[in-house]
């Protein structure tokens, strides 16, 4: 009897010491700590908006059927991705968490855009770790030009061009450094830091630099860089295709006083 009592106490201690993620009632699939916390909050505050990740689009039907009669509302059934957007209460969350057809449950909250956090969403960090960095390839960025001196790009800007204010109407001003409507030669024809791209301390042509950074920025030895872009080893072709407009009526509709100058493309 004493040995049995010791055995029972030992087993109880082991169960108490197990992480919450490993403890599952009724022998079901373990519930991760983060989801357990959501279930607890939903029990107090009501249903939560969540994104449910599935192994395939075909799994959507079965998962939705499993929620029939539970505290869940399907908000979006994605057609191209194995995801479901739901509002789910505690019972639905537990059912989803224990389902073998569910890979992950994440609370659907607004996020601040960040290159460092979004690259892993497409598994870009894992691909780069395998050595696939875009080296030997070239990415063309048709936008508002590029900051040609930005350390994020190093010496990988291999070609530039500018096609701006082709319509030549209204208050349109070309953004090509040489003042023409088309520039393919000379010094940095897609330079986003020219006088026409400035409005006091505001850089009007910064969008193209951001896009180029997302596509092919390389954070190595760059102080303050948010992390690598998708293809940090790729070369870049930068093409300026925007035009500066200096009238409010051309920069906004309905007209917003003070919206000019702006850059727009035709």
Q: Output the domain CATH number for residue 96.
A: 3.30.70.80
Whether 116 maps to a domain, the answer reads no
Q: How many CA atoms lie within 13 A of 80 on its CB side?
A: 0
Whether 238 maps to a domain, the answer reads yes
Give a three-class secondary structure readout of 168-191: CCCCCECCCCCCCCEECCCCCCCE
pLDDT value of residue 114: 73
Give, for 163, the enclosing helix (H) or strand (E).
strand 157-163
pLDDT value of residue 14: 44
Q: How many CA atoms lie within 13 A of 101 on its CB side?
A: 17
Would you list the DSSP string of 35-57?
HHHHHHHHHHH--EEEEEE-S-T
SS3 131: coil
pLDDT value of residue 3: 54
Could you tell me if 240 and 255 are in contact, meaning their C-beta atoms sit under 8 angstroms apart? no
pLDDT value of residue 7: 46
Tokens at 192, concatenated:
């986003």
Whether 114 maps to a domain, the answer reads no
Would you list the DSSP string of 107-127?
E-------HHHHGGGGTHHHH
Residues 139 and 241 in one domain: yes
Phi, psi of 87 (to 5 degrees): -110, 120
Residues 97 and 149 in one domain: no
Residues 235 and 142 in one domain: yes
Q: Which of 185, 182, 159 is nearest to 238 (CA)?
A: 159
Residues in CB range of 169: below 8 A, 6 or more apart: none
- Tell me which DSSP letter residue 31 carries: P
| Residue-range definition of the domain harbouring residue 102 | 30-107
Could you tell me if 205 and 175 are in contact, meaning their C-beta atoms sit under 8 angstroms apart? yes
Residues 159 and 205 in one domain: yes
pTM for the full predicted model: 0.66
Residues 152 and 256 in one domain: yes
Residues 89 and 48 in one domain: yes
Could you tell me if 104 and 91 are in contact, meaning their C-beta atoms sit under 8 angstroms apart? no
Residues 129 and 253 in one domain: yes
What residues in the chain have per-residue pLDDT under 50? 1, 4-27
Residues 130 and 101 in one domain: no
Could you tell me if 51 and 84 are in contact, meaning their C-beta atoms sit under 8 angstroms apart? yes
Q: How far is residue 66 from each of residues 28, 58, 82, 109, measured CA to CA in Å?
A: 15, 14, 16, 24
Residues 80 and 147 in one domain: no
Could you tell me if 261 and 199 are in contact, meaning their C-beta atoms sit under 8 angstroms apart? yes
pLDDT value of residue 170: 73
Residues 87 and 177 in one domain: no
What is the spatial distance between Cα 196 and Cα 177, in angstroms, rounded to a whole number? 8
pLDDT value of residue 28: 66
């Amino acid at each position: 009897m004493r040995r049995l009592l010791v055995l029972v106490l030992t087993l109880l201690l082991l169960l108490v010491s197990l992480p919450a993620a490993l403890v599952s009632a009724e022998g079901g699939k373990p519930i991760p700590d983060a989801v357990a916390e959501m279930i607890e909050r939903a029990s107090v505050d009501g249903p939560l908006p969540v994104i449910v990740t599935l192994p395939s689009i075909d799994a959507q039907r079965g998962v939705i059927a499993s929620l029939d009669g539970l505290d869940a509302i399907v908000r979006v059934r994605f057609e191209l991705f194995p995801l479901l957007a739901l509002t789910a209460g505690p019972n639905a969350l537990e059912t989803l968490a224990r389902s073998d057809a569910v890979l992950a449950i994440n609370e659907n909250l607004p996020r601040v855009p960040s290159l460092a956090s979004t690259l892993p969403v497409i598994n870009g960090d894992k691909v780069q770790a395998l050595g696939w960095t875009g080296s030997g390839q070239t990415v063309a960025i048709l936008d508002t030009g590029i900051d040609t001196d930005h350390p994020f790009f190093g010496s990988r800007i291999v070609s530039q061009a500018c096609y701006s204010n082709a319509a030549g109407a209204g208050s349109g001003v070309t953004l090509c450094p040489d003042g023409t409507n088309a520039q393919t030669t000379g010094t940095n024809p897609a330079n986003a830091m020219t006088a026409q791209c400035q409005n006091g301390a505001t850089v009007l042509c910064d969008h193209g630099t951001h896009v180029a950074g997302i596509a092919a920025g390389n954070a190595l030895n760059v102080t303050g860089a948010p992390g690598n872009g998708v293809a940090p080893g790729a070369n870049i072709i930068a093409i300026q295709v925007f035009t500066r407009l200096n009238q409010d009526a051309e920069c906004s509709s309905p007209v917003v006083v003070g919206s000019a100058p702006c850059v727009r493309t035709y």
